[in-house]
Chain A
Amino acid sequence: MIDLLERADPARDLQADSVRLRAKVEERIGVSAPLRPGSIAIRRPWLVAAAAFVAVLAFGLPVLLRDQPPSVFAPDLDGIAAHPGVEEAVALASGGLQVMDTDGGTIWVMTTLQNLLQRISAESGEVEATYPIDARVEGVVAGGGSIWLISPDHGGEVLRFDPNLGVVDSTIPLGGAPGWSHWLGDALWVGTDQTEVVQISSDGEIVSTVPGDLKGGEGLGYLWVNDPGTDLISSLSESGEIGEIVIPTERGLDTMSGSGIRQVSEADGRLFLLDGDHPWGTNLNVFDPDSGDFGAFTGLTFGLLDLVQFDGYLWVTSSTDHLIIRIDPVTGEQRRYPMPGKTGGLVVADGSLWVTLFQTGALLRLDTGADLIESSPIVADDWNRFPHRLLCTGTGEATGPTVILQPSDWIDYGSMSVIQAKLSDEGHLACTNGYVQGETTPEQQAADLDEALGEAGIAGPYLLVAAVDGVHAVRLFADGRDDIAGVVLIDPMPVGFQDFYDELLPDYSGHPPWLDLDADVSASLDTFGSVPLVVIEQDPQAVFLSPNFLESPGGEAAEAVNQYWQDGLAFYSGLSSDARSLVADDSGLDMIIWDQPDLVVEQVLELADPS
């Protein structure tokens, strides 16, 4: 077969014309003034720094530019950069929410946690400069040669940032807390909580104030507002006129959360409007300006944050499910691509689609046409049972048990989406058991899983995969059952860990709530018997015995926590007579599912198909 494949090579005897090819290369790099390799990204920071220095000397402007501040924030991007569909990953100044915009060649990202504005070259992916901003910023707009920072400070104001000098050179009071903001025509438009849209010219003057509730971005050449006079969705033109087009809804796209339109985008000559979350998901609506028709286009999942048009498709981010969803604007076909973290904002720059992972603090250039892993068709999705969700994907054509993925409660529901996609890709039926929001208990998790599987008609055998405090739910689920084919425990949290930790380290108890199991309940549960069990552990040196942890609570406490954790691992490994343990090198606590998803997938496949 391999020989035949080699013989089938359609280019086996092709030969390139080296002279002609070399000439084409030289055309691209410019033979008359060849670029120095790698020199592009390092020029601008010096120019900007020098210009700012001159500006400060000459005009006494506030010094807002300084060297990039030291940061302990250093996300491990290796795993993220290697994720299918990610062409490159840029580390941002911190995690937390980011807002961003682009002028085409440069992406401007504001990390709201630390009030840092970052200038990133869309061509090279280099962070060219980082500017501390002396204000809280909730929106960034690029337009008119300036970067506009929308701030709730002082009752609402706009800071005009000069990208050449690297300084804020003007502040414009808004007269109300800002909401949506966008550049249209030659002006900045900012909605406020006074149901007004403020029009600001490129030289920083307020030109007009228009009544209306600004929602979303631009589409069909207009901005879109809820008209306070009619409460209908109406166009806002660049001349400030409202109502040239009125979308025939009975009212604005208000939802139960009252968030109205989340975003708008134009595609295929029509206007697509994403509304806010309903308990059962989110609607993407469509308005056809030619026919005047308006209606629901397709239903989507939860936690949708942004919507853009790129390469003929609509792209939506879902933070809840760690997804980027591609939607065909003609057929409505959806493709779901798992991403290695919570997805946030989207921009199109340098011919690429970019997305932030807002929890991790990373900006990703996506390779949208290449090797994205597509989630298999959804087999069962109980999203009507808000907030619980059982999301099953995969054809199930591969023999073997259904894989149940139980994420850690405090990390989030979508954290196993990459692993789920890879298992589905291998033909397995894989189901994530989790919660979109709300508090729960291991007992509730186990009961909901049992009920949802029954309703979906997905019978055993099951292969259980649990991360961190998800281990408690799968032990409860497996108790008394004879249809468990295997168990994989990733960083399993010891029973009683929360109480132990909080008592030992009361000054460090500000962690997210962990799920725990009562010691008596734990003792009453069956072991896994002879069911194959794999325990995947983090490298202990990388967590509790790391310099960072040792320096904080102190060596003795760190040793005690580590010992408790190691005892817990020994306990879990003793739950089956057919158990083995693996150490995931270079992976910190709770990070194995992101750092080494392939390791987890390998172990699951091995248990699912021992032959």
Chain B
Amino acid sequence: METESVAKQHSDPGHRFDPLFQAHYDAIYRYCARRLGVSEAEDAAADVFAVAWRRLDDIPDGSDRAWLFGVAYRLIGNRYRSRRRQIGLAARLRAVPGGAVASGPDPDQTRDEEVDLLLRALDQLSPVDRELLRLSAWDGLDRGEIALVLGISENAVDQRLHRARSRLKTRFSRLQSALSSIEPKEAST
């Protein structure tokens, strides 16, 4: 009976694809939205799952999520290379009806400024640093998953993440200092 069951699983791709899609469609969609904007996120996510369908047998057991993120990472980099620099992505998301940030102004103005400043600091980092931080903080991947997505060792993830956070902090502080030095002048004029 067990043999038949296994054989059935392999002859029915939907058996594996359906739960894969259900478990990860939202995360992959949001991953794409963060990097491309809402208008292109759905198509990109669909492309990712189309690749998954064709390569179901290649997806390592237990690493579904990281594998899908890896496909998304490469696919976005490849197909949308001309739009890789996502400067102003947050602004674009804001402009899209139904987008997360478009859901209404944040009542906490101070936090909004901090967030904007942080996003500017993030944009000043190298693509690799940005991707590491986003995969960790926004996509919620652990070090092993990030290693799989980026094709580097877990130790390298640790080291690079540590340095990327440090660089982000430095850039953020610099922007804060720059802002605070401008504001009094503006106030006095």
Instruction: Check B127–A21 contact: CB distance below 8 A.
Output: no
Q: Please, what's the 1-or-0 string for A9-35, where 1 marks a CB less than 8 Å from any CB in chain B?
A: 111111111101110110111000011
Min distance, Cβ A521 to any Cβ of chain B, angstroms: 38
Complex alpha-carbon distance, A474 and B128, angstroms: 33
Instruction: Check A24–B42 contact: CB distance below 8 A.
Output: yes
Whether A58 is near chain B, meaning CB under 8 Å from some CB there, is no
Chain A interface helix/strand/loop/mixed:
loop
Instruction: Check B78–A425 contact: CB distance below 8 A.
Output: no
Q: Which of A256-264, A368-376, A522-530 contacts the other chain?
A: A368-376
Specify which of A13, A21, A425, A605 lies most central, judged by the most chain B CB atoms within 10 Å of its CB. Answer: A21
Whether B185 is near chain A, meaning CB under 8 Å from some CB there, is no
Chain A residue numbers with a CB within 8 Å of B73 are: 370-371
Whether A311 is near chain B, meaning CB under 8 Å from some CB there, is yes
User: How many residue pairs, one in A and one in B, have C-beta atoms under 8 Å apart?
Assistant: 157
Instruction: Check A371–B128 contact: CB distance below 8 A.
Output: yes
Whether A511 is near chain B, meaning CB under 8 Å from some CB there, is no
Whether A519 is near chain B, meaning CB under 8 Å from some CB there, is no
A14 partner, pick from B29, B50, B165, beta carbons under 8 A: B29
Instruction: Check A4–B103 contact: CB distance below 8 A.
Output: no
Instruction: Check B43–A24 contact: CB distance below 8 A.
Output: yes
Whether A438 is near chain B, meaning CB under 8 Å from some CB there, is no
Min distance, Cβ A41 to any Cβ of chain B, angstroms: 10
Closest to B138 in A: A9
Take A11-B100, A36-B13 as given contacts and tell me if A16 and B133 are in contact as well, using a CB distance cutoff of 8 Å.
no
Whether B159 is near chain A, meaning CB under 8 Å from some CB there, is yes
Min distance, Cβ B87 to any Cβ of chain A, angstroms: 12
Complex alpha-carbon distance, A25 and B38, angstroms: 17
Whether A2 is near chain B, meaning CB under 8 Å from some CB there, is yes
Whether B131 is near chain A, meaning CB under 8 Å from some CB there, is yes
A11 partner, pick from B30, B115, B152, B172, beta carbons under 8 A: B30
Whether A330 is near chain B, meaning CB under 8 Å from some CB there, is no
Whether A43 is near chain B, meaning CB under 8 Å from some CB there, is no
Instruction: Check A352–B78 contact: CB distance below 8 A.
Output: yes
Whether A37 is near chain B, meaning CB under 8 Å from some CB there, is yes
Take A10-B100, A13-B100, A367-B78 as given contacts and tell me if A2 and B55 are in contact as well, using a CB distance cutoff of 8 Å.
no
B156 partner, pick from A2, A87, A371, A598, beta carbons under 8 A: A598
Interface residues of B (CB under 8 A from A): 13, 17, 21-22, 25-26, 29-30, 33-34, 38, 41-43, 45-47, 49-50, 53-58, 73-74, 76-82, 84, 89-90, 93-94, 99-101, 103, 111, 114-115, 118-119, 122, 126-128, 131, 133, 137-138, 150-153, 155-156, 159, 163, 165, 168-169, 172
